[in-house]
Structure 1
Amino acid sequence: MWDFLFSQYKNYDTFSIWLEFIAVIFGLISVLFARVNNILVYPTGIISTLIFIYLLFQWSLIGDFIINIYYTIMSIYGWILWSKRKNEAFEFPVATMKTVDFKKSIILFTLTTVFVIIIYIYFDKFTSWTAYVDTFTTGLFFVGMWLMAQRKIENWIVWIIADLISIPLYFYKGYTLTSLQYLVFTIIAYFGYREWKTYLQKETLSK
């Protein structure tokens, strides 16, 4: 079982293995903070994404590399939004998506997918079926991160879909630690959705 899960790491240098492990740990910590609606989701997430930016560039995984650059930028954006207060209340509280948010999400997903396709064609990366899946998951992750910055509860649904796809995808690529990270992400996202939903219901009843 151990060889089945981690045999690919035999050819990896120790430094990269430790970096991936640290990035996974901070990624998990970040999602745990997101689950409880804590702003520390962003600084911890930035540490994880910056490490993955370096690793993914080394591994020539262009789509994932782009995702993590976007994550870092959106983490800074989300950090700013979550810090804003108006009359002692959050300016961007937990809320559900409106029609305009769905339209923006569709536009963001479409533009992201087209952009990644262009990048993959330019770098001649459409050499495996995984590249086609990457274009789809990249679009989902972009939307999920944007919705989280806006504190829209539906961000968890998008994360769950994208994470479930990423579990076998990363394992197939040979990155077991990252695959396991997405497995845990899926579980946390499920409970995150439930907690945000409960929180939103309580806020609605208190008004």
Structure 2
Amino acid sequence: MDFQFLIDGFAEGLRQMTWLEAFAVFLGIASVFYSMRVNILVYPTGIISTLIYVWICFQYKLYADMGINAYYFGMSVYGWYVWTHPKAGATEVPVTWMKTKGWILAIGILLLSYLLISYVLVHFTDSDVPYWDSFTTASAFVGMWLMAKKKVENWIFWIITDFVAIPLYFYKGLILTSFQYLFFTVLAIMGLIAWIKTARTYAKS
């Protein structure tokens, strides 16, 4: 691997970076950190970051990612409500595992949303990365939904999303955002481990 190319790309990304992108990156990382800690601040930080990225993705013709960030905003509001309204008698919504039915639904949503989004991008937009953009969007769509439900498996979909998004944003010239997703991948792996421990603790209680 040409590490000098990566270093030069990162330096160029810093030179081209706007304060708005830097702010969105900072809040995005903060949101993932709070999610790992199962902290409600995941939502206010995430809401602001995603609104900024709606604008950034529009400027760079990443229409599917623009849509998914708008979806993030809506799901963040929903997740904020769910996390702060546990069942009667409970102090909080617990972290749990999906059952077989949940997996079938999640995979179904992934495939259906991928096919639908890719069709729209290919036929109705000028996107030059329609299938790539559609996959990260569909995977993140499921991950956000599962996070709002406090399911451990949300991290699996985030790991997939972040890993595939790294080269996508690098290709589009958003170098700093690409490195952000590299960092997100590491945080998502840590988040998966942390939520597994939390779910096991709840199951034993």
TM-score by length of 1: 0.89
Q: Residue 190 of structure 1 aligns to a residue in which SS?
A: helix
Contact 1:74-1:145 at 8 Å conserved across structures: yes
Deviation at 1:126, TM superposition (A): 5.4
Q: 1:151-205 CA deviation, whole Å, 9 max, x = no partner? A: 0001111111111111122111110111111111111111111111111112222
Task: Output the CA distance in 1 between the equivalents of 2:127 and 2:179.
Answer: 25
What is aligned with 2:9?
4
Deviation at 1:8, TM superposition (A): 5.6
Q: 1:91-147 CA deviation, whole Å, 9 max, x = no partner? A: x310000122112212211231122123212334354xx322111111111010111
2:102 pairs with 1:101: yes
2:136 pairs with 1:134: no
Deviation at 1:88, TM superposition (A): 3.5
The amino acid across from 2:89 in the alignment is N
The amino acid across from 1:89 in the alignment is T
Listed as ranges, the matches of 1:14-163 within 5 Å are: 17-85=18-86, 86-90=88-92, 92-125=93-126, 127=128, 130-163=129-162
Q: Residue 40 of structure 2 aligns to a residue in which SS?
A: coil
Q: Residue 159 of structure 1 aligns to a residue in which SS?
A: helix
Deviation at 1:3, TM superposition (A): 3.2
The amino acid across from 1:120 in the alignment is L
Contact 1:109-1:143 at 8 Å conserved across structures: yes
What is aligned with 1:192?
191
Q: CA RMSD in A?
A: 1.7
Which consecutive residues of structure 1, in runs of 5 or more, have no partner in the other structure? none
Contact 2:163-2:181 at 8 Å conserved across structures: yes
Task: Output the CA distance in 1 between the equivalents of 2:42 and 2:14.
Answer: 29
Name segments (4+ residues, structure 1) moved above 4 Å. none
Q: Percent identity over the alignment?
A: 44
Task: Output the CA distance in 1 between the equivalents of 2:198 and 2:103.
Answer: 22
Q: Residue 89 of structure 1 aligns to a residue in which SS?
A: coil
Which consecutive residues of structure 2, in runs of 5 or more, have no partner in the other structure? none
Contact 1:126-1:132 at 8 Å conserved across structures: no
Q: How many residues align?
A: 199
Task: Output the CA distance in 2 between the equivalents of 1:8 and 1:187.
Answer: 21
Task: Output the CA distance in 1 between the equivalents of 2:43 and 2:162.
Answer: 19
Q: Which moved more, 1:150-159 or 1:55-64?
A: 55-64
Q: Residue 126 of structure 2 aligns to a residue in which SS?
A: coil
What is aligned with 2:201?
202
Task: Output the CA distance in 2 between the equivalents of 1:110 and 1:174.
Answer: 28
Task: Output the CA distance in 1 between the equivalents of 2:132 and 2:179.
Answer: 18
Contact 1:23-1:47 at 8 Å conserved across structures: yes
